[in-house]
Amino acid sequence: MTAREAGPGDALRLAFGTLSVLPVRFPHVDRQVAGRAMAAAPLVGAVLAGLAAGVQALALWAGTGALLAAVLALGSLALLTRGLHLDGLADVADGLGSGKPAPDALRIMKASDIGPFGVLALVFTLLVQAAALTRAAGHGQAEAAAALAIAVVTGRAAIGIGCLRAVPSARPDGLGAMVAGTLPPAAAAGTAVLLTGAAAGLGAATDLGALRAALAVAVGLLAATALLRHTVRRFGGITGDVLGALAETAAAAALVVLSTG
């Protein structure tokens, strides 16, 4: 950590360095910078979605078929994030599925192995995402790219919901402790409004439709909020794993909405 005053660049570098595999250095880290980094998570999502959409488009161009193209796109996202959010989803599923008190559930989540609930959560979520993305690709390549972008950015916006000031940390250390309670409600609300408007624009420019695209954002964020409330009741707050689970849940819910019609 340096003595200089933190700037916007520190938060952006921390966001990319934490939420992606991109080799970004972030010398200045404190709670303020970490909170701003989580607020910038949708920007990271937009970049990653662009890269994954490129993989999907290349696969479709090569004639792999919509299903394999969707799987390759989702696989590239997992690689680009080091599987961070998927790992969080699996750990949270194991913690919740254990039915144990918060301290024991948190110990289960911190273990390096993965249990049956985690496996089921991963398989179900990835199957839902792949099937929904395949359905979107059936409308055309532009629709597939738009659906992927909306879902991925919605997932990263859900991370900010987990960092609202009213949300405590479940542990005294770790990523959750660093970012819990750092974002004001106005920041999350502003992100949701901007994202909904951008999604509606993408939907209007494609066959997804503006209303369906906007609804996908709303449903994704609502699903993440419901999961957040449940995990806070069960664990006493958030952890880094919870943030990853919020991202994957929101993305899957958004893709389900986008696959309709």
Q: If you compute the radius of gyration of the chain from its CA atoms, what whole number of angstroms results?
A: 18
Q: What pLDDT is attached to residue 137?
A: 87
What tens digit of pLDDT does each residue of 152-194 get? 999 999 999 999 999 999 999 888 899 999 999 999 999 999 9
Strand, coil or helix: what is 253? Answer: helix
Which stretches in the chain have pLDDT values below 70? 1-8, 26-28
Buried b vs exposed e over 63-96: b needs ≥16 C-beta within 10 Å? Answer: eeebebbbbbbbebbeebbebbbbbbbbbbbbbb
The closest alpha carbon to 92, from 80, 105, 75, 77, belongs to: 105
Residue 147 near residue 258 (C-beta atoms within 8 A): yes
Torsion (CA) 204, 206, 208, 213 in degrees, nearest 10: -50
- pLDDT tens by residue, 97-106: 999 999 999 9
And the tokens for 111? 């273990």
Q: How far apart are CA 87 and CA 114, in angstroms?
A: 9
Q: Would you state the pLDDT for residue 2?
A: 43
Contact between 202 and 150 under an 8 Å Cβ cutoff? The reply is yes
| 8-state DSSP, 29 | -
pLDDT in the model for residue 41:
95
Helix, strand or coil, per DSSP, at residue 167 = coil
DSSP single-letter state for residue 81: T
Q: What is residue 8's predicted lDDT score, i.e. its pLDDT?
A: 62
Q: What pTM, to 2 d.p., does this model score? A: 0.94
